[in-house]
Structure 1
Amino acid sequence: MNKQKRTEIFRRLREENPKPVTELSYSSDFELLIAVILSAQATDVGVNKATNKLYPIANTPEAIFALGVDGLKKYIKTIGLFNSKAENVIKTCRALIDRHESQVPQTREELEALPGVGRKTANVVLNTAFGQIAMAVDTHIFRVSNRTGIAPGKNVLDVEKRLIRLVPQEFLLDAHHWLILHGRYTCIARKPRCGACLIEDLCEFKDKRDYI
């Protein structure tokens, strides 16, 4: 795929959704961090249902830490892997209190040092909370990047690096939101909705279907 095609793809995605945002509910950098930790192998809808009950009760490192692991589990037990996530969230809250004055750090190294925070989570926080150029490659972005030909790669890190290099600069800040939403609602895994896709004519997928 050439630069002209990529530019037109993102121009159309931007035209359709000029200011894309995450579908996770949050009202602070800390709430976003916790929501993203909880979202691993879970849906945003499921995470929002849990945090909509949790955050009115506890939405600071001190308040969630005070709940303890068992107290936190009561709020997030509907989310997959809630046992290990509860432990990581409590440990992360303690680390934020002890090492970061209860503030979410703004560097990848500091974020990835927090329990339960991997590269993808760090990228989401850096991009969404702090407006830094970062590409959080999840299953949707990995699929869309490979299927369309925008930035094919064998693994998520490969795709991340190629997207950072190949997506035109003017679209980089919001690119991961557009790609996630496109993968979630149009370029879905089993039956991509090619017949309803606004970039179908630019996509290089060889097995297109007219599903809508």
Structure 2
Amino acid sequence: MNAAKRAEIFRRLKEDNPEPTTELEYQSVFELLVAVILSAQATDVGVNKATARLFPVANTPEAIHALGVEGLEQYIKTIGLYRSKAKNVIETCRLLIERHNGAVPSTREELEALPGVGRKTANVVLNTAFRQPAMAVDTHIFRVSNRTGIAPGKTVLEVEKKLVKFVPREYLLDAHHWLILHGRYVCKARKPQCGSCRIEDLCEYKAKTSDD
């Protein structure tokens, strides 16, 4: 795919959604971090239901740490892998208090040193909270990048690096959100809705569906 096609794809995605953001609900950088940790192998809807119960009771590292693992589990047990996630969140809260005065750090190295925070989670926080040009590649973005031809790659890291390299600079900050939403609602895994896709004429996917 050439640069002109990529630029037009993101121009249209921006035109349709000028200010995209995560569908996770949060009011602070810390709440975002917790929500993203909880969202691994879970839906944003499911995470939002759990945090709607948790955050009114505890939404700081100190308050969540005070709940303890078992206390936190009661709020997040509707989410998959909740036991391991509860342990990770409690330990992350402890480290935030001890190492960062309760604040969420803004560097990849410091974020990835926290339990439950891998490269993808760090990228989401860096991009969404700190507005850094980081690219969090989840299953949706991996699929869309390969299927359309925007940034094909065999691994998540390869796709991430190609996106950072190929996405036009003026669209890079919001590209993560546009791609994830496009994959979630239009370029679906089993049956992409090519007939109602805004970028169908630019997409290089060969097995396009004809109906909506």
Q: TM-score, normalised by structure 1?
A: 1.00
Tell me the CA shift for residue 209 of structure 1: 0.3
**Counterpart of 1:19?**
19
Unaligned runs of 5+ in 2: none
Query: What is the distance in 2 between the residues matched to 1:3 and 1:130?
Result: 27
Structure 1 runs of 4+ with >2 Å offset: none
Q: What are the equivalent positions in structure 2 for 1:125-164 lying under 5 Å apart?
A: 125-164=125-164
What's the % identity of the aligned pairs? 76
Unaligned runs of 5+ in 1: none
RMSD value, Cα: 0.4
Query: What is the distance in 1 between the residues matched to 2:80 and 2:13?
Result: 31
**Counterpart of 2:63?**
63
Letter of the 2:191 counterpart: K
**Counterpart of 2:118?**
118
Summarize deviations over 1:147-203 as a string: whole Å, max 9, x none: 000000001000000000000101000000000000000000000000010000000
Task: Tell me if the contact between 1:50 and 1:76 (Cα under 8 Å) persists in the aligned partners.
Answer: yes
Query: What is the distance in 1 between the residues matched to 2:183 and 2:20?
Result: 14
Tell me the CA shift for residue 210 of structure 1: 1.9
Summarize deviations over 1:134-156 as a string: whole Å, max 9, x none: 00000000000000000000010
Q: Secondary structure at the match of 1:21?
A: coil
Instruction: Establish whether residue 165 from structure 1 lines up as the match of residue 165 from structure 2.
Output: yes
Query: What is the distance in 1 between the residues matched to 2:131 and 2:174?
Result: 9
Aligned residues: 212
Task: Tell me if the contact between 1:191 and 1:211 (Cα under 8 Å) persists in the aligned partners.
Answer: no
Q: What are the equivalent positions in structure 2 for 1:1-212 lying under 5 Å apart?
A: 1-212=1-212
Task: Tell me if the contact between 1:96 and 1:103 (Cα under 8 Å) persists in the aligned partners.
Answer: yes
Query: What is the distance in 1 between the residues matched to 2:27 and 2:156?
Result: 29
Tell me the CA shift for residue 211 of structure 1: 3.2
